[in-house]
């Protein structure tokens, strides 16, 4: 079956511009996660959605970052007024349920801020 998909695969933008990254989770998975992987920082948690519950935003690094999940499926991560330190690979994952299930990752979006 189809796995987690993300688009675009690569995004190059200029400092100060806004960007939107998209994630399509595995069909039927109720939990969706965003992580960021940057050089020297490893993989870090950003935000987590579970069903209709309020998202856990505890990992978002600043108020320039936000995410939505529409209809319990597709999610969009938005970064406003991008900075060079935002350059990283943004990974999305989904799991069947929260709290215990295996997380399956998408291929990621490589963001480069010039």
Q: Which of 21, 67, 98, 111 binds another protein (CB under 8 A)?
A: 98
Distance CA 43, CA 46 (A): 10
User: Can residue 31 be called a binding residue for another protein (CB under 8 A)?
Assistant: yes
Nearer to another protein, 93 or 113 (CB): 93
Q: Where does residue 29 fall: left (phi above 0), alpha (psi -120 to 50 degrees), or beta otherwise?
A: beta
Distance CA 78, CA 1 (A): 28
User: Can residue 48 be called a binding residue for another protein (CB under 8 A)?
Assistant: yes
Which spans of this chain sit near another protein (rule: CB under 8 A)? 4, 6, 31, 33, 35, 42-45, 48, 50, 56, 58-59, 91, 93, 95, 98-100, 102-108, 110
């Amino acid at each position: 079956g189809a796995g987690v998909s993300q688009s675009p695969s690569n995004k190059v933008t200029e400092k100060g511009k806004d960007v939107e990254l998209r994630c399509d989770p595995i069909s039927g998975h109720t939990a969706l996660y965003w992580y960021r992987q940057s050089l020297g920082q490893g993989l870090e948690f950003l935000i987590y959605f579970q069903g209709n519950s309020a998202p856990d935003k505890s990992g978002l690094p600043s108020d320039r970052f936000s995410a939505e999940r529409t209809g319990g499926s597709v999610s969009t991560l938005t970064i406003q007024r991008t900075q060079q330190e935002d350059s990283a690979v943004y990974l999305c994952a989904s799991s069947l349920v929260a709290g215990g299930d295996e997380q399956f990752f998408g291929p990621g979006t490589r963001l480069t801020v010039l």
